[in-house]
A and B are shown apart, each in its own frame.
Chain A
Amino acid sequence: MNTAVLQAKLWYAQRISAMVLALCVAIHLLIIYYAIQNGLSAAEILGRTRGNLIFALFYEIFVLACLVHAPIGLSNILRENTGDSFITRVLPWLLAALILVLGNMAVLGVVWGTA
């Protein structure tokens, strides 16, 4: 694939994931605000999230949007500031792996308590 076209596709993916993230972050903050209003403890919050598939689906979408958005952004920043190199190409993939693993562990932990 033409590099310029690939870059255009990555730009598009980053924009769409940014839109998803904007929505997810807003909902996430609202949930936090709602959850701590009456002084809920961590145990009480987990009691409500465990086994809740809607929570699982929402946070999985959140993780996937981060997975797309952050590595593309990091790749752009690295290439603009340090040029094209091995590190510039590998670091975004490492970040992607980290987000995928840690994000899914968090979702599993909050919803099923297995992580």
Chain B
Amino acid sequence: MSSSTLHVKVWRGAEQGEFIEYEVPRAANQTVLDVVTYIQRKLDSSLSYRFACRVGMCGSCAMTVNGKARWTCRTHVAALGSGSELEIAPLNNLPVIKDLATDMREFFDKMNTAKGFFKGEKTRHDDFAKLKPHSLERQLANAGIECIGCGVCYASCEVVASREDYLGPAALNRAWTLVNDVRDSQQLDRLRAVAGDAGCHSCHTQGTCSERCPKQIEPTAGIAGLKKIVGRAAVLGSKWGKL
């Protein structure tokens, strides 16, 4: 056993499977994605995994590395501090298609369920909407708008792990950015969609999503905002009407 060699356990199979160990040579500035790519190209071409940009823009290479969900392209092996051992598995809380590739459908479907898409009323014939960059709504929206849908928060969420129908941090964060978008015209429908135990009110505020988000977004804060605004809308009403 040499320190110039990494001993990498990689999940092989689908829901049923096992960890297979590979030996991968260490390299300077090596990322976890480099390790997976090395295994696939040099050791076992049947290994399935997903990646695209390699520079932290697309969000497709997220995996569970040493028990925590991360972007593999932006995770240096040396920074993990686990010596020559490495364990790579698919993201938690999502069905595994094969090896390190998960089925992300339910993750993206929940964004739709939470009305995580913009719907305006103006047409191309109307003037541009004028938004003040320093208004409270715009700042709250900006705080969560950089999400690229990698699924790290969803895979890390304890509530998603315990209840299937929970919308999860990414969908609720997206809903929160849109609740703060003054141009959007489906606010009451969105509040209804994110209300209750399958929505924001199930969040236990444990904050793992915020801790793990590679973009330093805080879905926990957005969900707390949703809880407050939805709760008030149900009891007292909101500027868009009563739930």
A residues near B, CB below 8 A?
2-9, 11-13, 15, 76, 79-80
User: Is B195's CB within 8 Å of the partner chain A?
Assistant: yes
Chain B residues positioned under 8 Å from A76 (CB to CB): 197
CA distance A2 to B199 in the complex (A): 13
The interface residues of chain A lying within 8 Å CB-to-CB of B198 are: 4
Complex: how many Å from CA A12 to CA B231? 5
Chain B positions within 8 Å of A, measured between CB atoms, are: 162-163, 192, 195-199, 201, 227, 230-235, 243
A-B contact count (CB 8 A): 45
Question: Which residue from B192, B199, B235 sits with its C-beta under 8 Å from A12?
Answer: B235
In the complex, are the beta carbons of B192 and A79 less than 8 A apart? no
29 interchain pairs, CB-CB under 8 A: A2-B192, A3-B196, A4-B195, A4-B197, A4-B198, A4-B199, A5-B192, A5-B195, A5-B234, A7-B197, A7-B201, A8-B195, A8-B196, A8-B201, A8-B230, A8-B231, A8-B234, A8-B235, A9-B234, A9-B235, A11-B227, A12-B232, A12-B234, A12-B235, A13-B235, A15-B231, A76-B197, A79-B197, A80-B162
CB of A7 within 8 A of CB of B195, answer: yes
Mostly, the B contact residues are helix
Residue of B nearest to A6 (CB): B196
Contacts of A13 in B (CB 8 A): 235
CB nearest to A76 among chain B residues: B197
Give Cα distance in the complex from A73 to B199, angstroms. Answer: 17
Residue of A nearest to B236 (CB): A12
Bound state CA distance, A76 and B197, in angstroms? 9
Shortest distance in angstroms between B101's beta carbon and chain A's nearest beta carbon? 31
Contacts A2-B243, A8-B233, A8-B234 supplied; 5 other A-B pairs, CB < 8 Å: A6-B196, A7-B201, A8-B231, A8-B243, A11-B231
Q: Nearest CB to that of B159 among chain A residues?
A: A80
Report the minimal beta-carbon distance from A96 to chain B, rounded to whole angstroms: 19
CA distance A6 to B234 in the complex (A): 8
Q: Most B CB atoms within 10 A — which of A5, A6, A13?
A: A5
A3 to chain B, nearest CB (A): 6
Looking across the interface, which residue of chain B has its beta carbon closest to that of A13? B235
B201 with A5: CB separation less than 8 A: no
Contact across chains for B231 and A9 when beta carbons are under 8 A apart: yes
Q: How far is the CA of A15 from the CA of B199 in the complex (A)?
A: 17
Closest 8 CB pairs of A and B: A4-B196, A12-B231, A7-B196, A8-B234, A4-B195, A8-B195, A11-B201, A9-B234
CA distance A20 to B235 in the complex (A): 17
> B196 — nearest CB in chain A belongs to which residue?
A4
Residues of A within 8 A of B234 (CB): 5, 8-9, 12
Measured between beta carbons, the chain B residues less than 8 angstroms from A80 are 162-163
CA distance A106 to B59 in the complex (A): 59
Contacts of A6 in B (CB 8 A): 196
Decide if B231 touches A4 in the complex (CB within 8 Å).
no
Residues of B within 8 A of A12 (CB): 231-232, 234-235
* A5 and B197 alpha carbons, distance in the complex (Å): 10
* Chain A residues closer than 8 Å to B235, beta-carbon distance: 8-9, 12-13
Residues of A within 8 A of B230 (CB): 8
